[in-house]
A and B are shown apart, each in its own frame.
Chain A
Amino acid sequence: MASSELHAPREEEVRHEHPTPRKYVWIAIILAIITAAEVAIYYVRALEDFLVPFLIAFALIKFIMVALYFMHLKFDSKLFRRFFVTGIVLAFFVFTVVLLTFFLRPETPGVTG
Chain B
Amino acid sequence: MELLKRLSASGRRLLLGVVVTAFAVVASACDTNVGPQDYLSPEGPVARKADGLWDLTFGIAVAIFVIVEALLVYTIIRFRRRPGREAAQFHGNTKLEVILTLIPTLILAGLAVPTVKAIADLSDKPEGALNVTVTAKQFWWQYEYPDAGVVTANEMHVPTGQPVYLTLEGADVIHSFWIPKLTGKQDVVPGRKNNMYFVADRPGTYWGQCTEFCGLSHANMRLRVIAQEPADFEQWLAEQQEPAAGTVSGAAAQGQEIFMGTCVNCHAIGGTEARGTTGPDLTHFASRETFAGSMFRNTPDNLKRWIDNPPGVKPGAQMPDYGLSAQEIDAVVAFLQTLK
Contact = CB atoms under 8 A, between A and B. Distances in A.
A108 interface: yes
B123 interface: yes
Interface stretch (B191-199, B200-208, B249-257, B292-300): B191-199
Contact of A109 (B46, B184, B194, B198): B194
Interface residues of B, number: 16
A108 B193 CA distance: 8
Interface string B119-141: 10011110000000000000000
Contacts of A112: 50, 119, 122-123, 184, 186, 196
Q: Is the interface of A mostly helix, strand, loop or mixed?
A: loop
Contacts of A108: 125, 193, 195
B183 interface: yes
Interface in A57-111: 106, 108-111
A111 B194 CA distance: 8
Instruction: Name, among A108, A109, A110, A113, the residue most crowded by chain B CB atoms within 10 Å (CB to CB).
Output: A110
B119 A109 contact: no
B192 to A, nearest CB: 9
22 contacts: A108-B193, A109-B123, A109-B194, A109-B195, A110-B124, A110-B195, A110-B196, A110-B197, A111-B46, A111-B122, A111-B123, A111-B183, A111-B186, A111-B195, A111-B196, A111-B198, A112-B119, A112-B186, A112-B196, A113-B119, A113-B122, A113-B123
Nearest to A105: B192
A109 B120 CA distance: 11
Contacts of A113: 119, 122-123
B332 to A, nearest CB: 40
Given A108-B125, A112-B184, 17 more contacts: A108-B193, A109-B194, A110-B122, A110-B123, A110-B124, A110-B125, A111-B122, A111-B183, A111-B186, A111-B196, A111-B197, A112-B119, A112-B122, A112-B123, A112-B186, A112-B196, A113-B119
Interface in B186-242: 186, 193-198
Interface in B259-275: none
Interface in B71-130: 119, 122-125
A71 to B, nearest CB: 40
A109 B195 CA distance: 6
